[in-house]
Amino acid sequence: MSQTPAPTDASAPEKNDFIRQIIREDLASGKHAAIRTRFPPEPNGYLHIGHAKSICLNFGIGREFGGPVNLRFDDTNPAKEDPEYVEAIKEDVRWLGFDWAELRHASDYFDVYYLAAEKLVKEGKAYVCDLSAEQVREYRGTLTEPGRDSPFRGRSVGENLDLFRRMRAGEFPDGARTLRAKIDMASGNINLRDPAIYRIKHVPHQNTGDAWCIYPMYDFAHALGDAIEGITHSLCTLEFEDHRPLYDWCVDNVGLHHDRALLAPLEAAGQAGVAAKPRQIEFSRLNINYTVMSKRKLLALVQEGLVSGWDDPRMPTLQGLRRRGTPPAALRLFADRIGISKQNSLIDFSVLEGCIREVMDAASPRRLAVVNPLRLVLTNLPEGHAELLRFPNHPKDASFGEREVPFSPVLWIERDDFMEVPPKGFHRLVPGGEVRLRGVGIVRCDEVVKEGDEVVELRCTLDPDTRPGLPGADRKVKGTIHWVSAAHAVAAEVRLYDRLFVVADPDRDEEGKSYRDYLNPESVKIVRGYVEPAAAGLAPEAGVQFERLGFFTTDRHDHRADAPVFNRTVTLRDTWTAK
């Protein structure tokens, strides 16, 4: 699979974060003739917006410096992994606008990992330990106290090799034994206190089936996977900074970059192993308020029915953001705008919304829609009157062209655009007042029809001389409202989405509350509205601005021309702060 070509926009500013500076220095010094990066998700859940930052960084660097980027699934824990996640992740990466040079799996290298582990055993650098997980924790020590050696640390090389091979053969039950690296139980870095590098799991694997009953631990497999693929710069988030000494220990002590005999299983299978020595570099992860990004909590939201699924448009998953209508270009802009640093920070949700507005404002055609309809009748037009009015598709970009919008004497307007008793500063329709109908002219409200206390119809008069292009069009009124023709409008389901949580930090645990207690009861409202015919005919996943209402997107699954469904992607301006 070919790498997505680099952008050709020579005017794009050069990015200059600390990672790119390292890469430029490595290339200039001749340390690397070329670079290679990778995006290494674990297929144990759906990707979220935090992963988008890493995707944009790894694939973006590949584009900028002309280096291939691998998509590698670090599938070392089959108990939590699923092919569904694999396919969704591939779809998400492509949706964001990227493609990979090679598709790899950690499971492609299981034979190499096993040979590497045997090598460590033979060199006295790994041993089989019989301690339970709870006992391992007890022996590990604390941040202020050193750990204690396992009573099995002194086993001979021969005994360890025999036990490890018997582990491989399936002789022992889950949890009975682990293979641990022999490093330093007194290390100030707890990750170096003889970490496990293999554990027993009698669980079928999605790629290898029942071929294995022992699986490598993530830190061991990840480091060696980078080395096998010749990754030059292994980019990961700051929580792995304390793991870097273990990463380097695995790379250096296995020594794939100078012991190519370990790659024999790959070569026998016709796969290439580059076997270089990678460098791990950490950057700050994305933290954004008004959401949670823990896979455990996102899974709970889905399993407990608090959202409709992984692609619920309120979820921070890439599938959810896509279904809501977030353009991939907005996520790439968001990644650029927040930048890359070594300092953790909290990004305000409004920054993401601003990026969405910026992209959708430039790319979205305009259409007319009414989501809270009130009937308006123009009494001085003959019954059955109908005509087509021409409207620009984009007021800022003539290249979008124009369209014809049907007009008739009976219209739908927004209920919020009329008030019987208006507050000060209200410049829309009131009894006896005038307002401009967008593209039509000035109308006066002559009569208000009610059923009980509810207003059900406005009877108005149109001043025909105030139509655009006629001499009376210059007559001034303070308000302009939009409309759709009742005779031609298409009924539509409109889903008004808002933030999923009502507090900036839903992860805070106070007074016995959890993130579930901060769910926003108004995070979605489903209403029945009307849209002009040109909006109903849009294809699924088409972005549009409903004039005066916001940016909307046709639902990727439920939308049909005869039964349109629109998701509000973002409001026209930030309304959350005011609330």
Known binding residues are: 42-44, 48-54, 74, 218, 237, 285-286, 293-295
55, 9, 40, 552: which is closest to 331 by C-alpha? 55
Report phi then psi at 487, rounded to 5: -75, -20
Distance CA 322, CA 88 (A): 12
- Concerning whether 199 is annotated as a catalytic residue, the answer is no
How far apart CA 89 and CA 117 sit, in angstroms, is: 30
Could you say which of 42, 118, 282, 434 is catalytic?
A: 42
- What is the torsion angle, in degrees rounded to the nearest 10, for the CA atoms of residue 258, residue 264, residue 270 and residue 272? -10
Contact (Cβ atoms closer than 8 angstroms) between residue 546 and residue 372:
no
Binding site membership for L-glutamine: which residues?
A: 74, 218
Catalytic option among 295, 375, 403, 444 = 295
Going by C-beta distance under 8 Å and a sequence separation of 6 or more, which residues neighbour residue 442?
Answer: 434, 435, 436, 462, 463, 466, 472, 475, 477
**8 A C-beta contact, residue 570 and residue 353:** yes
Say how many Å lie between the first and final Cα of the chain, rounded: 48
- The yes-or-no answer on residue 42 being catalytic is yes
- Whether 424 is a known active-site residue: answer no
Only one residue has tokens 């339970």, namely 132
Write out the E strands in 383-509. 387-392, 402-407, 410-414, 434-437, 441-451, 454-463, 480-481, 484-485, 490-497
Which residues are annotated binding-site positions for ATP?
42-44, 48-54, 237, 285-286, 293-295
SS3 per residue for 49-84: HHHHHHHHHHHHHHHHHCCCEEEEECCCCHHHCCHH
Other beta carbons less than 10 A from residue 218's beta carbon: 18
Name the catalytic one among 140, 165, 285, 415: 285
User: Closest Cα to residue 49, out of 358, 298, 309, 226?
Assistant: 298
Which of 321, 392, 329 lies closest to 360 in space, CA to CA? 329
Concatenated DSSP letters of 452-466: TTEEEEEEEEEEGGG
Q: Which of 89, 103, 102 is nearest to 48 (CA)?
A: 89
Say which residue the tokens 């080395």 belong to. Answer: 227
In whole angstroms, what is the distance from residue 390 CA to residue 379 CA?
23
- Return d(Cα 177, Cα 163) in angstroms, integer: 9
Task: Please identify every residue annotated as catalytic.
Answer: 42, 285, 295
